[in-house]
């Protein structure tokens, strides 16, 4: 049955439904966006549509670090000026963007594409952890910076990876607590991120209790 609140138009309802699938967009926000798009000039709507299609066609993930890129490997991975012995592990591509803006880090990255969250059905096997272990075996990595977000899921992910790699003979560090607990890297200002990286410290979970999130 067609929803009469949208003027009996299944096309409008379809757009509302599709927009509702986006993260952070609820039904009400989807409705507002839909009617904004309806009022938008045709050339602007076509430009938006073209940009979305272009991104889906031309953007991929680097086969080495899993950052977003137009070429594979990505520009960071093939940059001879990067310090390839220092590997920074982050949750999302946006974290790479945020760290690069600080100009405080000249190493390489590994993007996990998420964090361990049993409540959301996300386990270690859903992240790019296995490729990380393979890189550590094949590449000459001296230091791994576990720059997951300073929240419960990020800490659980950091602890899990630490346990996997602590016997590989690499230095394991975590950004200093200049980052707010419960926050995300992408929302931190550049100065805070820079200080956190410069003040990173060795990681030790010896005297810590395993977070409840890993026991679920």
Q: Are residues 33 and 128 in the same domain?
A: no
Residue with tokens 């550049």: 190
Task: Give me the helix-helix angle, 27-39 and 10-20, nearest 10°.
Answer: 130
**Residue 189 falls within a domain, yes or no?**
yes
Exposed (0-12), middle (13-18) or buried (19+): which is 137, by Cβ within 10 Å?
exposed
Please check the confidence at residue 58 and state whether its pLDDT lies above 80: yes
- In this model, does residue 213 exceed pLDDT 70? no
Does the residue 70 lie in any domain?
Answer: no
Per-residue pLDDT of 118-128, as tens digits, reads 999 999 999 99
Please give the tally of structural domains in the chain.
2
Q: Identify whether 140 is part of a domain.
A: yes
pLDDT-above-90 percentage for the chain: 73
Model pTM score: 0.77
Q: What is the CATH number of the domain that holds 13?
A: 1.10.8.420
For the stretch 90-138, pLDDT in tens is 999 999 999 999 999 999 999 999 999 999 999 999 999 999 999 999 9
Q: Are 117 and 84 in contact (CB under 8 A)?
A: no
Any domain includes 186: yes
Range of the domain at 163: 75-214
Predicted pLDDT of residue 1: 38
Within this chain, do residues 45 and 92 fall inside the same structural domain, yes or no? no
CATH of the domain at 151: 3.40.1360.10
Whether 108 and 197 map to the same domain: the answer is yes
């Amino acid at each position: 049955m067609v929803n009469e609140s949208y003027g009996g138009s299944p096309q409008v309802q379809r757009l509302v439904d599709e927009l509702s699938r986006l993260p952070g967009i609820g039904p009400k926000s989807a409705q507002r966006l839909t009617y904004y798009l309806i009022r938008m000039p045709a050339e602007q709507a076509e430009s938006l549509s073209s940009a979305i299609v272009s991104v889906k066609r031309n953007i991929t993930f680097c086969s080495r670090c899993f950052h977003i890129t137009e070429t594979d490997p990505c520009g960071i991975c093939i940059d001879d000026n990067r310090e390839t012995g220092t590997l920074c592990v982050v949750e999302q591509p946006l974290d790479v963007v945020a760290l690069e803006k600080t100009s405080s880090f000249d190493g390489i990255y590994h993007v996990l594409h998420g964090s361990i969250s049993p409540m959301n059905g996300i386990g270690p096997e859903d992240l790019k952890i296995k490729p990380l272990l393979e890189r550590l075996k094949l590449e000459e990595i001296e230091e791994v910076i576990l720059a997951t977000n300073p929240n419960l899921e990020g800490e659980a992910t950091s602890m899990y990876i630490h346990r996997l790699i602590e016997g590989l003979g690499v230095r394991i560090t975590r950004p200093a607590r200049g980052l707010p607990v419960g926050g995300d890297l992408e929302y931190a200002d550049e100065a805070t991120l820079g200080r956190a990286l410069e003040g990173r410290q060795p990681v030790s979970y010896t005297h810590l209790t395993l977070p409840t999130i890993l026991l679920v």
